[in-house]
Amino acid sequence: MPSERAPQHDPRHEPVMLHDVVDALAVRPGGRYVDATVGLGGHASAIIEAAQPGGRLLGIDRDPQALAIATERLAPHGDAVVLARGEFAEVARICEERGFAPVDGILIDAGVSSLQLDTAGRGFSFRRDEPLDMRMDPDGPTTAADIVNTATEFDLAATIFQYGEERRSRRIAKVIVERRPLRTTGDLAR
């Protein structure tokens, strides 16, 4: 369920590397493109504008709050834009279900968005002490608290090393296990 404490996001905000992304995708009029991490719709808006006339765009995101903002931002493009809730790993299935194949380009901008970092209650930021959540999809079953409180020390170290590229991952995992249970972002940061 989207947080009531979501910050306001400027619909004119230009995403990082906007023009580089459009250039790298070689967007052309009449093309069909997928933004598999549509977020707030900034890249998608530039892509669909560059794909006119006749272009189409499928936007995918697992965060319903981001999709709501993208829906509003991309509404002026009408039927040229289709939005779907899902994960970027499901892009082939979603394209097939929506009859959106073949495509001319796919954008995947993986990572945490400013919306997720800035929204209180999502548990992504260490700027506030709040529940240790960190779910990209707030309806997903597993929170960060579930993981840090149940994973083995070995699995925590492997995850921290692989995804955080942290060379002290074993030491960090050991401290996490020693300090369990961890319930908030503050607990994890200490």
In what side-by-side order are the strands of the sheet with 105-107? 81-85, 56-61, 32-35, 105-107
145 contact partners, CB below 8 Å, separation of at least 6: 131, 132, 133, 181, 182, 183
So what's the architecture of 18-111 in CATH?
A: 3-Layer(aba) Sandwich (3.40)
pLDDT over threshold 60, residue 29: yes
For the segment 168-180, the average pLDDT, to the nearest whole number, is 96
For the segment 70-76, the average pLDDT, to the nearest whole number, is 96
Each residue of 105-124: pLDDT tens digit?
Answer: 999 987 766 666 666 667 66
pLDDT over threshold 80, residue 71: yes
pTM: 0.74
Query: Domain ranges in the chain?
Result: 18-111, 125-189
The average confidence (pLDDT) of the chain is 88
For the segment 53-59, the average pLDDT, to the nearest whole number, is 98
Note the pLDDT of residue 1.
39
Q: Would you state the structure tokens that stand for residue 98, as one six-digit string? A: 């929506």
Give 54 or 12, the one with higher predicted confidence. Answer: 54
Report the C-alpha gap between 187 and 190 in whole angstroms.
Answer: 5
* CB of 31 closer than 8 Å to CB of 51: yes
Per CATH, the number for 125-189 is 1.10.150.170
Note the pLDDT of residue 6.
45
